[in-house]
Amino acid sequence: MKSVNLLIKPASSLCQMDCRYCFYKDVANHRKEYEVKMMQRETVDVLIEKACSFAGENGFITFGFQGGEPTLAGIEFFEYFCQKVINTKLSSQKIQYLIQTNALKLHQQWCDLFIRYKFLVGVSLDGYKENHDSLRTIDNHASFSLVMKSINLLKKNKIDFNILTVLTNQLAKHPQKLYHLYKKQNFEYVQFIPCLNDLNYLNQYALDSHLFSNFYKKLFKLWMKDYYSHKYIHITLFEDILALLQKQPPMTCGFIGQCQPNFIIEANGSVYPCDFYALDEYQLGNIKELDFKEMSKNKLFSDFSRIENSIPSLCEKCKFSQICHGGCKRMRSVYIQENYCGYQDLLEDLLPEFYKLLYNH
């Protein structure tokens, strides 16, 4: 069975918010020719037809939507997209829909669409109110209450959702406050994405490797207490480590140093191998001109995905190298600073506890 993972930018980098650390706006601004446009139906048609053809019999296709803010494309866009998939896919093919949203303006019609097509919804929430509102604003106004209102609507409609939180230096200093809020809200699935430096200059919010390690060490102690009581939050990093120790694939792309085969599709049909590298030099082609099979054979695609890509010398000497293989190359700026690796420090501390956990359960 072939799995095809597509991350679609229906509204490109367009967003109502002005997040202090937005990496994709920075990426988009580095392209020579860049104009924010909505994805047209002609592009949707070609994309879906070529995706279904590439997946073949019994294929599994994940259509993920991200931005910018994908809901700006409108409900009609998503209704058209999903109906086109129904009318195009082979009967043996399985389809999964994901959407990552700022959740500013979700309403019942959105919930009805998510239910109808079984969307898994990712909600961007940066922890407690003070932190969230200092980083994620709309016209210089706070957004926390709007996001929480949308979260409560998702809960009311029993829609599967997870929380995606950007881990900045300031948030990493308060793991207890963050964890207790998420526990109080009964959030089941949480992923922390380290805040990165921009491509050409330092970002004051970018996560320091020492803070990364200290945050997760403190968070782990809180998580472990709840794990043994079977009332724990599913935290992606911890579950990825557990998966690796049991020789299972992790959920997070790049977690073992190798990029998963993904196609990032911009609103104009341009295709890239990674969300972090949606740049001119990594463009695989345009879906209106090439199919996914042709682009997957592009040397750029194979070179980008190689596990041996630029492994730092610090990793070569590390006793945990067979676990992470250097990790995601874009995330290394978070893990490694000079001769210190925050991830190595974290594994040194946590692995004995993880082994105990596996032994006892």
**Residues annotated as catalytic (active site), given as ranges:** 275
Cis link prior to 285 (omega < 30° from 0)? no
Is 104:150 a contact under the CB 8 Å cutoff? yes
Identify residue 25 by its one-letter amino acid code.
Answer: K
Torsion of CA 234, 348, 210, 325, to 10 degrees: -80
Q: What is the DSSP letter of 192?
A: E
Of the candidates 60, 66, 150, 78, which has an alpha carbon nearest to the alpha carbon of residue 108? 150
For the chain, how far is it from start to end, CA to CA, in angstroms? 32
Of the candidates 5, 8, 25, which has an alpha carbon nearest to the alpha carbon of residue 266? 8
Question: Measured between alpha carbons, how far is 4 from 56 in angstroms, rounded to an integer?
Answer: 10
The CA radius of gyration of the chain, in Å to the nearest whole number, is: 20
Neighbouring residues of 228: CB distance < 8 A, sequence distance ≥ 6: none
Of the candidates 53, 41, 39, which has an alpha carbon nearest to the alpha carbon of residue 7? 39
Is 256:324 a contact under the CB 8 Å cutoff? yes
Is 326:308 a contact under the CB 8 Å cutoff? no
Q: Are strands 119-124 and 161-167 parallel, antiparallel or unpaired?
A: parallel
Is 233:239 a contact under the CB 8 Å cutoff? no
Identify residue 238 by its one-letter amino acid code.
Answer: F
Neighbouring residues of 235: CB distance < 8 A, sequence distance ≥ 6: 190, 191, 192, 219, 223
In sequence order, what E strands does 156-288 have?
Answer: 161-167, 189-194, 234-235, 262-265, 270-272, 285-286
